[in-house]
Structure 1
Amino acid sequence: MELWFTEYQTSSLGITCKTKKTYHTEKTEYQNLAVIDTEQFGRMLLLDGIIQTTIEDEFVYHEMISHIPLFTHKNPKKALVIGGGDGGSIREIIKHPSIEKAVLCEIDGRVIEVSKQYLPEISCALENEKVEVVVGDGIKYVKEHKNEFDVIMIDSTDPIGPAEGLFAIDFYKSVYEALKEDGIFVAQTESPFFNKDLISRVFKDVKSLFPIARLYTCAIPTYPTGYWCFTMGSKKYDPLETDIDSIPDIDTKYYCPKIHKAAFMLPKFVKNLLK
C-alpha cells in the first residue's frame, strides 16, 4: 500500500509526497510536530501539517537567510536566531570566523530535541561552544536584550499560531532596539505569489524603521509556489553595495557571491509589491 502526505497550501492547492516512514508524531504545548521520510525529499519536519524543512532542499533556505546578512555586515560577532529550532540557520552562522556567539531562541523546545534526534545534518551545530540555546518567547527575548546583536534572523513558521506576532511592527521595533548601531535583521516573508498583502505590509513597516530596507528571493521546492522571499532591515550597510569580490569561499550549496547580488534583482510583479 502506498502512503502519501499532502500539505494543503491554500484551499485549492497542495503539495503531495509519497512517504516511506513516519519517524515521530506528537502534540507539543504549541503545535503538532511530526517527522516523516519521503521518497523525493528525504526526512521532513512538519508543524501542524506544514512542511518546515527537508533534508533534500533545506540548504537553500538556511544559506539565504544567514549568509546574505552576515556578508553584508562588515564584522558580525554576535547573531540571534528567533525560531529556527531545527538548527539550520545556526549551522550556517558559525561558518563565519568572526562570529563569537550565536543565540537560538525557539519557543517550542520539542522542535529542538526532535530535530537533534531525526535531523542531525541540520541540527549538528546546536552543541557548538559558540552557540547558546534558549527555549522561550522570541518577542519577549528581544525586548530584554537591547543594543546587543550585530545580526538578527527571524526564522519563523508561517504567520499563524505561535509565529503570528513575529510579523508585527511592534516586534520589528523591538528588533531594531536589540541591534547595535550598525545592525542588520532579516525575516522570512513567505511567497510573492500567495502572500502579497503580507509582503507589502511588512516591507512598509521595515522601511519605516530602518534606513535601508531590501527584499530578496530564492527558489525552495517544498515551500508554497517554490518561490520565497526575505525582507531585510539594515541600520548602515546596504547589501547591494557589498564587495562580492571580498566574500571568502565557504561551504555552501546555493549561496555564492554572485547570488548575493542577483537575489535582489526582482521581477516587476514583486517590485510592485514594495511600492
Structure 2
Amino acid sequence: MDLWFTEKQTEQFGITAKVNKTYHTEKTDFQQLVMIETAEWGNMLVLDGMVMTTEKDEFVYHEMVAHVPLFTHPNPKHVLVVGGGDGGVIREVLKHKSVEKATLVEIDGKVIEYSKKYLPDIAGELDNPRVEVKVDDGFMHIAKSDKAYDVIMVDSTEPVGPAVNLFSKGFYAGISKALKDDGIFVAQTDNPWFKADLIKQVYNDVKEIFPVTRLYTANIPTYPSGLWTFTLGSKIHDPLKVKDERFTEMETNYYTSELHFASFALPKFVKDLTT
C-alpha cells in the first residue's frame, strides 16, 4: 500500500506527495515535527502539518529571502535570521563576503537538530564560525536589540502557533529599532491566492514604519498555491535602485541579478494588495 502525505492548505484544497519513509515524528515543546522522505521532493520537513522545506525546491525560498536584501544593502556586516532553523537562509547569507557575523534565533531547537541530521545540504553551514545559533524566542530577541543589525530576515512558519507574534505591527516596529540607521528587513508573507488579507495587512503595517516598502514574489511548488510573497522594509535603500556593480558572481539556482528586479513586477491582483 502506498503512503501519501497531504497538507490541507485550505478547507477545500491540499497538496499531496508520496512518502517513501518516515524518519522521525515528535511533538516538541512548540509544534508537531515530522521528517519524511518523499518520492518527488526528497527529504521534507513538516511542522504542524505544513511543508517547511524540501531538498528539491528549497533553494528558491532560501535564495530569495537572503539575496534580495543583501544585494540591496551596500555593505551588510551583521545579519539576523529569525526562525529558519533548517539553516537554508544562513547558508545563503554566508555567500556574501561582507557578512562578518550571522545570528540565527530559532525557538525550537528540535528543528535545528533534525535538520542537521536529515537535511545536511541545507543545514550544513550552521556550525560555520561566522554563525551564532541561539535557541530562543525571536520576538523577544528583537525586542532586546537596538541598532544591532544591518539586515534582518524573518524566516517563520505561517502565522499559527509560535509564529503568530512574528506577523504583528509591534514586531515590525521592534525590527526597525533593532536595525541600524540604513537597515533592511524582509519577511515571508505567504501566498496571495489563500492569504490575500494577510499580505495586505502586513504590507500596510510595514509601510507605516519603513520609508521604502516593497512586495516581491517567487515560485515555490511545495508551498500553498506555488506563488509566494515576501515583504521588504528598508530605512533608506531601495531594491529597485540597486546599481549593476553591486551584483557579484555567486553560486545560485534561482536568484539572478535580472530576477532581482523582475521579482518586483507583480500580477495585477497581487499589486492591488499594496494599494
Q: Which TM class, normalised by the smaller chain length?
A: over 0.9
Conserved? CA contact 2:74–2:246, under 8 Å? no
Verify: 1:183 aligned to 2:183, yes or no: yes
* Residue correspondence of structure 1 range 40-79 to structure 2 within 5 A: 40-79=40-79
Q: C-alpha distance in 2, partners of 1:255/1:88?
A: 14
List aligned pairs for 1:57-136, cutoff 5 A. 57-136=57-136
Question: May I ask how many residue pairs the two structures share in their alignment?
Answer: 275
Partner of 2:218: 218
- What root-mean-square deviation, in Å, do the aligned CA atoms of Structure 1 and Structure 2 show? 0.6
Q: Secondary structure at the match of 2:16?
A: strand
Query: Structure 2 counterpart of 1:230, which letter?
Result: F
Q: Which residue of 1 aligns with 2:147?
A: 147
- Separation in 1, partners of 2:85, 2:22: 20
2:168 matched residue in structure 1: 168
**What is the identity percentage for the equivalent residue pairs of Structure 1 and Structure 2?**
57
Measure how far apart 1:245 and its partner are.
4.5
Q: Which amino acid in structure 1 is aligned with residue 51 of structure 2?
A: I
Following superposition, the deviation at residue 49 of structure 1 comes to 1.1
Any idea what the Cα deviations from partners look like across 1:218-246, whole Å, max 9, x if unmatched?
Answer: 00000000000000000010000011353
State the alpha-carbon separation in 1 of the partners of residues 161 and 27 from structure 2.
Answer: 14
* DSSP 3-state at the match of 2:225: helix
Deviation per CA, 1:41-96: give whole Å up to 9, x if none: 00000001110000000000000000000000000000000000000000000000
* Correspondence for 1:266: 266
Give the distance between the partners of 2:27 and 2:222, measured in 1 at CA.
23
Q: Could you give the per-residue CA deviations for residues 174-193 of structure 1, whole angstroms, max 9, x where no partner exists? A: 00000000000000000011
Q: Normalization by structure 1: what TM-score?
A: 0.99
Query: Counterpart of 1:174 in 2: which secondary structure?
Result: helix
**Cα shift readout 1:182-207 (whole Å, capped 9, x = no counterpart):** 00000000001111110001000000
Structure 2: where are the runs of 5+ without partners?
Answer: none
User: What CA distance in whole angstroms lies between the structure 2 residues aligned with 1:48 and 1:192?
Assistant: 21
What TM-score comes out, normalization by structure 2 length? 0.99
Q: Name the structure 1 match of 2:199.
A: 199
2:107 partner letter: I
* Aligned counterpart, 1:22: 22
Describe how 1:233-248 pairs up with structure 2 within 5 A: 233-248=233-248
